[in-house]
Amino acid sequence: MEPLAVFLIEYAFVPELITGLYAALVYRKLTVQARNISYFIFFSCIIEIISKILWYRGENNLPLLHLYVLVGFLLIIRFYRSVLVGFIHDYIFLFVTISFALFTVVNSLFFETIFNFNSTALSVQAVLLIIFSIFTFIVLMNDIVKDRGSQLHPFLNWINSGVFVYYLSSLMVFYFGKLLIADYSSLINQYLWGIHVVFLMVMYCCFFIGLWKSPKVSN
């Protein structure tokens, strides 16, 4: 395996864990929106730690990916629901949440089983989150929203940018994941997944800056 790929795979979790630790330290002072994205960060850290343990033991950690796709999506949607209240009706969030949950469970049980790479679910997740992030950018450009939420604006921009950049850049990797693993050389796979890891690190760096800039509330 290429040294650069090894380095990225070994240390990709560092920005994630640093962000998780910071979120835990300031959790009590965070706004509702910041707490909601923190739940996703905490969950991701737990999944990452367990996944690393299984990986070092040479065990299949793909079942964790199936769990991560389902629960992670629900937690990010919870964040967007708190951000877009008044702009998107709750029924739409409820419909998207239930539909995606059912789709993911059926997909994991009957099509892309838990011991296989769930590229279809990952692709659908990415498309949905890209749509929500684009809509959030449009909302944040509204002058009235800027005035009313001036303190939250930098936080929301960084968090939403992290989601948009990561899921947009990873969509092709998610969609063609099985093809890449089966039909291309290990070297190409290493570089492609290395790029994916870089964008994952970028997302958590954006999350960290967003939480740093988030307004803090007094208890």
Q: 219 lies in a domain?
A: no
CA atoms within 13 Å, Cβ hemisphere of 156: 26
pLDDT over 70, % of the chain:
85
Cβ atoms 128, 73 nearer than 8 A: yes
SS3 content of the chain, % helix, strand, coil (to 5): 85, 0, 15
pTM of the model: 0.91
Q: 112 lies in a domain?
A: yes
Domain total in the chain: 1
Output the pLDDT for position 186: 67
- CA 169, 172, 175, 178 dihedral sign is negative
- Tell me: pLDDT of 1 over 60: no
- Tell me: pLDDT of 72 over 80: yes
What are the distances in angstroms from CA 180 to CA 53, 55, 59, 211? 25, 20, 21, 35
Q: 218 lies in a domain?
A: no
Q: 64 lies in a domain?
A: yes
CA atoms of 91 and 94, how far apart (whole Å): 5
pLDDT tens sequence across 92-103: 999 999 999 999
Output the pLDDT for position 182: 62
Host domain of residue 50: 3-213
Tell me phi and psi for residue 58, to 5 degrees: 75, 25
Name the band, by pLDDT with cuts 50, 70 and 90, for residue 82. Answer: very high
Q: 79 lies in a domain?
A: yes
